[in-house]
Amino acid sequence: MGKVFLLIWMLVAALSGKAQAQADDFGQSGNRSLKEAQILYDNLQYRDALNSLKAALRVKKNSRRDIAEIYRYMGSIYIIQGQKKNATRAFRLLLKVDPDHEMNPLLTSPKILTFFNKVKEAVLKKERVIMRHSPLAEVAAAERLEIRAYVVDLHQRLKNVRVYYRKRGTPTYSIVQMKTAKKTGKGKGTSTYIGFIPFVWQVTDEVELFVDYYIAGIDAKGRWVANVGTPKQPQNFRINLMAGTVPEGSRSTPLLKQWWFWTLVGVGAAGIAAGSYFIIDSSGSTPLAPGGEAVLIIR
């Protein structure tokens, strides 16, 4: 019985420790200096609050949440004190820890909220991913069609670059993953991405084919951070089917050019001219040719 109790106690302790670690990451701070600073801030004692925040930064093993909160309070105090340079520095450090941080508009003064949003916009603009692509105009038919994009990603935000493509008039897009070329661009964070759109369409007598496409650069959270074209306003190009080579099996022969179609028509015409038809026997089954194959009857 004692052993069972001990095992239960150890399990509860382990779960409690895990829960505490999660709480530290998501907002239940164990940093006393930070808690003091929050109380002082609420009581409008900004100078003392700032001293407590500086002390809070020196605490070892701060969670990311704690660090973000420290810089948020620091930036807010600096705005109140009119120290815009220090406020900018504090908010930039906050965004470095938590790039997606959003201030609650209901709990933040408009002055602080506006300033923070301007800093965030400037940071995102500075850290944005730049994508350049020379749109295709006309290409010759081939098994696959090459798409290239030049990317500048100084802060390594990109995780995937994809080409979305469709035949014009088709409602949905297909996707191709792009890969970096062996010879990438010059300079820090520059790369050349290459993707290949496969020729997957069936054509008959067409001499041209139009393709819509767009390119999207995606970060680790699945968000677009750069793009050329959009689903509603894609890039497009023309495939000249008279140039190059249409892949084997992609061109269908029209019915009127099929040899078997005219063979059947000829057989039917010959039967009519002779005044006779293939006759179904009394059982109603289809007659068989010498090879055992059913004979198609044209009436």
Question: Domains in the chain, ordered, with CATH?
Answer: 20-126 (1.25.40.10), 130-244 (2.60.40.10), 254-299 (no CATH)
CA dihedral 7, 12, 14, 17 (to 10 degrees): -160
pLDDT of residue 112: 95
Confidence of residue 285 (pLDDT cuts 50, 70, 90): very low
pLDDT of residue 127: 73
Percent of the chain's residues with pLDDT above 70: 73
What is the average pLDDT value for the chain, to the nearest integer?
A: 79
Confidence of residue 86 (pLDDT cuts 50, 70, 90): very high
Confidence of residue 171 (pLDDT cuts 50, 70, 90): very high
Burial of 149 (0-12, 13-18, 19+ CB in 10 A): buried
Q: What is the pLDDT of residues 247-275, one digit of tens each?
A: 988 987 654 455 544 455 555 555 555 54
Least confident among 14-23, 123-132, 154-163: 14-23
Confidence of residue 97 (pLDDT cuts 50, 70, 90): confident
pLDDT of residue 19: 39
Confidence of residue 194 (pLDDT cuts 50, 70, 90): very high
Q: Supply 196's token pair.
A: 């290949």
pTM, full prediction: 0.53
Please provide the DSSP assignment of 77-138 as one string. HHHHTT-HHHHHHHHHHHHHH-TT----TTTS-HHHHHHHHHHHHHHHHHTPPEEE-----E
Least confident among 16-25, 27-36, 68-77: 16-25
